[in-house]
Structure 1
Amino acid sequence: MSNEQEKKTAEFYERLKAELDKSSSWPAPYLFKFIVPTSEENILKVEDAFNCMGAVIKTTKSKTGKFTSISVDITAKDSQEIIDKYQELSTIEGIVSL
């Protein structure tokens, strides 16, 4: 990733953290939504990232079966926990965070 890309990514997460802190009092419920290329490995990576967090996870395959949407409902202890999860999962190839 280029320096410019890294700077934009860092700025995005700073803005998101500020918005989360402004709009929520912690702990608070949070719904993550992702789209991943359908593979057991990709789905398990997302599920494993939320293991032991009391997450409610729902998966739905697209009509063609090429993609799977994953909704993860958790109670986050603070905004940093949410940012950390987005950054952790950003390493999955082809993942889209909504």
Structure 2
Amino acid sequence: MSDKSKQFKQVLDEHHEWPCPYIHKFIVPADSLDRFQELFASEKLETRQSRTGKYTSVTIVSTMCSADEVMAVYEKAAQIPGVMSL
């Protein structure tokens, strides 16, 4: 695990009491949205298309049981080129 990942995990553990609802936000290129939705088929996704239609903002609210679970969602999303995590 990189130092950046360790630091992120520490911050998550300091600011959250597990389990708790956690909000993930992503910016997904329009041409990758279908793949993103397939990866997160079991989650309820809230989407909003950008004015130009080039990107879609995606919000996922789910109950997480640990910082590791939160980080796994970000790692899963990172499989798709061009996805930005907020």
Query: Structure 1 residues 30, 93: closer, same or farther in 2, change over 3 A?
Result: same
Q: Aligned residues: percent identity?
A: 31
Between structure 1 and structure 2, the one with the greater Rg is 1
Structure 1 length as normaliser, TM-score? 0.77
Distance 1:88 1:48 in 2: 11
> Is 1:96 equivalent to 2:84 in the alignment?
yes
Q: What is the aligned counterpart of 1:67 among 55, 62, 83? A: 55
TM-superposed deviation, 1:48: 3.4
Q: Is the 8 A contact 1:30 1:76 kept in 2?
A: yes
Structure 2 regions of 5+ residues with no counterpart?
none
Structure 1 regions of 5+ residues with no counterpart?
1-6
Aligned to 2:70: 82
**Pairwise CA RMSD of aligned residues?**
1.7
Aligned to 2:13: 21
Structure 2 length as normaliser, TM-score? 0.87
Q: Is the 8 A contact 1:49 1:85 kept in 2?
A: no
TM-superposed deviation, 1:85: 1.2
